[in-house]
Amino acid sequence: MKGEIKIGSPAPKIRFREPQIEMAHGAGGKASRRLVEGLFAPLLFGASTEPLADAAHLKINGARMAVTTDSFVVKPLVFPGGSIGELAINGTVNDLAVSGARPEAIVVTFILESGLPTEILQREVQAMANAAQYAGVRIAGGDTKVVEHGKADGMYITTTGLGTPLTGVEINPQSVRPGDKVLLSGPIGDHGITILLARGELDMEGDLESDTRSVFPLVEAVVAAAGAGIRWMRDPTRGGVATSLNELARDCGLGVVLFEDNLPVHDAVRGACELLGLDPLHIANEGQFLTVVAPDLVDAALSALHSMPGGGDARIIGEVRDEPAGSVLVTTRYGGSRIVDMLVGDPLPRIC
């Protein structure tokens, strides 16, 4: 007989009260969190009180493995610096990497729109093969469904990844302490703004491309140099750095203070954000990661990043403090400061 529901076990508390799903629920910010914590978690994750992470580290019959899944909904499918296929591989590789695991294998699901030219599908599958090879992961299988014309923006891709946890590092937001430093691997906002421009709806162009890449080599280097001091890592995709760090602040109950002048942002991203009234801290990235490192090991971590190809722009962007507990504060060099919240709403839909 299939698993029984035990009589008398407490009914899960659904805290999600909104009558319908809106775009904001998929944006990665506050609304997304409400949906996950208020509806999915009570029904699916049972009594687990662990904070939600990029990947789950499981122990199954003595073997430890990391597993994660992600869907890719991007318009346009191809953009400067990459395409949906690359995002689909790199995104899942990165989720595994920042959970402290070596990416090993991926399975893929395609939802394809009827009428999609084969040439386009082939190009994306080739892009995925290339990205997988580059990242050192096997593609172990998959599934395909086709839906009516008009229902899938060309194609949606879901990738589920498996990895082996790295030794020498233990990701745990509870281990974060005041004085720990926040490291960022490189410039923020490139991906989200590139997508926005690639849609061609704005009379704007710039010299920008998506930063999509596997961050595993960088993560591996940082773990090797400073693993014992790494408290937390995350890849700031939808919702940007601000959302990731707000999640951290909430999970560890401490404050994160960022130094605005230390934030690496390309001029073109700055310009686009000024023109559109956006904050680079809220823009999605597809090739960067954040890590919180103990102060005695942060220099080693930073040097390790600087010595790797693609790690030259890594910076210490802030530090953990007691206050403002649960929030993220950005300070400027002339003493001004402002609280930066998680993303509200969905300013950039179909970004990744």
Partner 1 sequence: MKFVDEFRDPELITKAAEEIRRLADPNRHYRLMEVCGGHTHAIYRFGLKDILPSNIELIHGPGCPVCVLPMGRIDDALSLAMDPDVIFAAFGDMMRVPGTHGSPLEHKARGMDVRIVYSPSDAIKLARMNPQKHVMFFAIGFETTAPSTALTLQRAKAEGVHNFSVFCNHVTIIPAIRAILDSPDMRLDGFIGPGHVSTVIGCRPYEWIAANEHKPIVVCGFEPLDLLQSIVMILAQLQKGEAKVENQYKRVVPWEGNHAALKAMAATFQLRPYFEWRGLGFISQSALRIRDEYAEWDSEQRFHVPGIRVTDPKAAQCGEVLKGVLKPAQCKLFGKECTPENPVGALMVSSEGSCAAYYNYEHRKANLVTSLSSPA
Partner 2 sequence: MSPEDDNQNPPGGCHMCLAIPGKVLEIDSDNPRSALVDVVGMRRRVDLGLLEDDPPGPGDWVLIHVGFAMSKISEVDALDQIRTLEMLGESEAAIQEVRGYGLEDVQDKHSP
Binding stretches for partner 2 (CB under 8 A): 23-24, 75, 113, 115-116, 150-151, 153-154, 196, 199, 201-207, 266-268, 270-272, 274-279, 282, 344-350
Q: Which stretch, 15-23, 79-87, 102-110, 245-253, contacts partner 1 (CB under 8 A)?
A: 15-23
Q: For residue 78, what are the β-bridge partners?
A: 83
Q: At closest approach, how far in Å is the CB of 38 from partner 1? A: 14
Q: For residue 108, what are the β-bridge partners?
A: 142, 159
Q: Which stretch, 89-97, 167-175, 241-249, 338-346, contacts partner 1 (CB under 8 A)?
A: 338-346
Q: At closest approach, how far in Å is the CB of 203 from partner 2? A: 4
Q: At closest approach, how far in Å is the CB of 250 from partner 2? A: 21
Q: Which stretch, 22-30, 43-51, 75-83, 301-309, contacts partner 1 (CB under 8 A)?
A: 22-30
Q: In what order do the strands lie in the sheet with 315-321?
A: 230-234, 290-293, 181-184, 315-321, 255-259, 328-331, 337-339
CA 109/CA 147 separation, integer angstroms: 13
Q: Which stretch, 75-83, 131-139, 169-177, 256-264, contacts partner 1 (CB under 8 A)?
A: 256-264
312: left (phi > 0), else alpha (psi -120 to 50), else beta?
alpha
15 binds partner 1 (CB under 8 A): no
Does the CA dihedral 208-214-218-222 come out positive or negative? positive
Q: At closest approach, how far in Å is the CB of 42 from partner 2? A: 28
Asked if 218 and 308 count as a contact pair (C-beta separation under 8 A), the reply is yes
Is 123 or 270 the residue whose CB approaches partner 1 more closely? 270
350: Cβ contacts below 8 Å, ≥ 6 apart: 73, 74, 75, 153, 195
Show the site string, 283-322: x = touches partner 1 by CB under 8 A, - = not. ---------------------------------x--x---
Q: At closest approach, how far in Å is the CB of 275 from partner 2? A: 6
Asked if 328 and 258 count as a contact pair (C-beta separation under 8 A), the reply is yes
Could you tell which of partner 1, partner 2, none binds residue 206, using a CB distance below 5 to 8 A set by kind? Answer: partner 2
Is 151 or 338 the residue whose CB approaches partner 2 more closely? 151
Is 202 or 228 the residue whose CB approaches partner 1 more closely? 202
76 binds partner 1 (CB under 8 A): no
Q: At closest approach, how far in Å is the CB of 318 from partner 1? A: 9
Residue indicated by tokens 């591989």: 89
Q: Which pair of structure tokens corresponds to residue 181?
A: 């430093």
Show the site string, 188-227: x = touches partner 1 by CB under 8 A, - = not. --------------xx------------------------
What backbone phi and psi angles, to 5 degrees, belong to 87?
-60, -40
Burial class for 174, CB neighbours closer than 10 Å (0-12, 13-18, 19+): exposed
CA 138/CA 131 separation, integer angstroms: 10
CA 239 to chain centre: 8
CA 43/CA 194 separation, integer angstroms: 37
Binding site for partner 1 (CB under 8 A): 20, 22-23, 30-31, 202-203, 257, 259, 261, 276-277, 316, 319, 323-324, 327, 329, 331-339, 341, 344-345
